[in-house]
């Protein structure tokens, strides 16, 4: 059986390998990607299982036991070199379409709200300039795109990026003063300022970051209501979602992934789902089930999910529980959450320890798109 490695960008050398209380991928900041090579599936499965277990054991021994540290460190270096050779930075090239117009039945929605520089995880800083670098990938996205920003200069940047795709682009400048999500800032700040509330950067430290996460669903709702391009499906896509392919200059589109369930909303599943988990533990221990970087659903399903999400946020705020959308979603579908929120939309999880898995399942690239305008 042949397996296309363009879908397997990274086997997950993140905190998934050394998972503790903080589910943050920046703890073990190794992010490598694959080349579009054909390799038997069993080789990939064996390699992933062997190297993942070995790195985990080496990390634990080096960190906590320090037995023959130089030998183990040397082994880790060898593993990293081998992994880098097998998973080089790449430009996806997994399928070709002669007529991209037939594939444009998904409206992609994204947004950028400038909350300044902030700490991400235990180390590293995210800055506006970094987001500007990441958003350059949107100049190659052929899908209809709705962009929400809070500054005219960002609108101008996107206007320039999408100059060849004007007919499938809508850019809207919003005033955060009139947004539901950012209207929660004061109440979220009160929750985060409690001495007993844990500090996970930036999830439970920067109120604006939590607001920006909730704004995803507010913007998705706005885009669905306007339905600028009359598409059957809607997808939220984080502004930096395709950060690993900023050097790729091929046009691409997002299509429905294999086994897509028309009645559910799709996310990438990162960690195991524990239905009996205490709902407060999801927030107080920063637990994650699915990643919030991308979702995809039929228009009607997305609309209903947004309604569910907003109502759930309001209820959780009353319980003095708040963090990112990832914790909100986990809480909705926990046993206790189901009893409280009565979800009318189910999640279709695409399982991977790669935070960007769903996006690359949907990714299709072109040599040169005929869809571009002069």
Mean pLDDT, rounded, for 8-18: 34
d(CA 238, CA 8): 20
Q: Are 366 and 100 in contact (CB under 8 A)?
A: yes
Measured in whole angstroms, the distance separating CA 3 from the mean position of its chain's CA atoms is 24
Could you identify the residue written with the tokens 């003063």? Answer: 177
Residue 54 has pLDDT above 80, yes or no: no
C-alpha separations of 118 from 7, 154, 192 in Å:
31, 19, 15
C-alpha separations of 160 from 156, 163, 367 in Å:
6, 5, 21
Tokens of 280: 């407060």
Residue 87 has pLDDT above 50, yes or no: no
pLDDT band at 249 (very low <50, low <70, confident <90, very high): confident
d(CA 255, CA 5): 18
Window from 31-35, 40-44, 147-151 with minimum mean pLDDT: 31-35
d(CA 138, CA 159): 11
Domain ranges (residues) in the chain: 2-86, 100-365
Residue 357 has pLDDT above 90, yes or no: yes
d(CA 154, CA 111): 10
d(CA 267, CA 359): 9
Portion of the chain with pLDDT greater than 90, in percent: 66
User: What are the start-end ranges of the H helices in the chain?
Assistant: 41-60, 69-86, 128-134, 152-161, 185-192, 207-226, 279-284, 299-318, 325-333, 335-341, 357-362
What does the DSSP assignment read for 192-255?
Answer: HTSTTS---TTTTT-HHHHHHHHHHHHHHHHHHHH-TT--SEEEEE-TTTTGGGTT----EEE-
Q: Which of 340, 343, 347, 342 is nearest to 316 (CA)?
A: 340
Q: Give residue-wise pLDDT tens across range 273-318.
A: 999 999 999 999 999 999 999 999 999 999 999 999 999 999 999 9
Tokens of 118: 């902030």
Residue 53 has pLDDT above 80, yes or no: no
Q: Which residues, including other chains, have CB under 8 Å from residue 233's CB and lie 6 or more apart? A: 105, 106, 107, 256, 296, 297, 298, 299
pLDDT for res 10: 36
Q: Which residues, including other chains, have CB under 8 Å from residue 3's CB and lie 6 or more apart? A: 38, 39, 40, 41, 44
Q: Which of 237, 114, 238, 239 is nearest to 175 (CA)?
A: 114
For 100-365, which CATH class? Answer: alpha beta
Mean pLDDT, rounded, for 94-121: 77
Residue 57 has pLDDT above 60, yes or no: no
Higher pLDDT residue, 208 or 42? Answer: 208
Q: Which of 180, 297, 183 is nearest to 237 (CA)?
A: 297
Q: Which of 101, 141, 167 is nearest to 373 (CA)?
A: 167
CA dihedral 96, 102, 107, 112 (to 10 degrees): 40
Q: Give residue-wise pLDDT tens across range 201-217.
A: 999 999 999 999 999 99
DSSP 8-state secondary structure symbol assigned to residue 63: I
In the beta sheet, which residues pair with residue 350? 268
d(CA 29, CA 130): 16
Higher pLDDT residue, 275 or 121? Answer: 275
């Amino acid at each position: 059986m042949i397996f296309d490695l363009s879908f397997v960008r990274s086997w997950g050398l993140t905190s998934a390998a050394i998972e503790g209380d903080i589910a943050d991928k920046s703890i073990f900041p190794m992010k490598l990607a694959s080349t579009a090579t054909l390799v038997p599936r069993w080789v990939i499965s064996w390699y992933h299982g062997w190297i993942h277990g070995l790195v985990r054991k080496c990390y634990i021994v080096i960190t906590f036991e320090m037995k023959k540290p130089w030998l183990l460190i040397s082994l880790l270096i060898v593993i990293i070199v081998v992994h880098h050779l097998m998973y080089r930075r790449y430009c996806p090239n997994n399928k070709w379409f002669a007529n991209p117009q037939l594939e444009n039945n998904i409206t992609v929605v994204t947004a950028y709200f400038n909350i300044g520089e902030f700490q991400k995880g235990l180390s590293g800083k995210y800055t506006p300039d970094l987001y500007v670098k990441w958003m350059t990938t949107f100049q190659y996205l052929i899908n209809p795109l709705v962009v929400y920003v809070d500054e005219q200069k960002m609108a101008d940047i996107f206007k320039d990026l999408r100059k060849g795709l004007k007919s499938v682009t809508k850019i809207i400048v919003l005033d955060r003063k009139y947004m539901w999500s950012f209207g929660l800032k004061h109440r979220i700040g009160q929750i985060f300022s409690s001495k007993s509330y844990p500090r996970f950067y930036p999830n439970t430290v920067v109120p604006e970051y939590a607001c920006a996460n909730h704004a995803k669903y507010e913007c998705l709702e706005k885009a669905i209501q306007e339905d600028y391009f009359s598409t059957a499906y809607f997808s939220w896509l984080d502004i930096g979602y395709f950060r690993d392919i900023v050097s790729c200059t091929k046009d691409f589109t997002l299509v429905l992934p294999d086994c897509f369930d028309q009645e559910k909303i799709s996310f990438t599943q990162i960690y195991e789902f524990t239905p009996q988990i205490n709902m407060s533990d999801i927030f107080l221990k920063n637990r994650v089930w699915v990643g919030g970087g991308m979702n995809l659903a039929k228009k009607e399903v997305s609309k209903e999910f947004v309604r569910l999400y907003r109502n759930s946020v309001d209820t959780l705020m009353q319980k003095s529980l708040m963090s990112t959308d990832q914790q909100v979603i986990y809480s909705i579908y926990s046993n206790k959450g189901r009893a409280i929120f009565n979800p009318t939309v189910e999640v279709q999880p695409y399982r991977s320890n790669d935070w960007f898995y769903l996006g690359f399942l949907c990714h299709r690239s072109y040599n040169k798109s005929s869809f571009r305008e002069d």
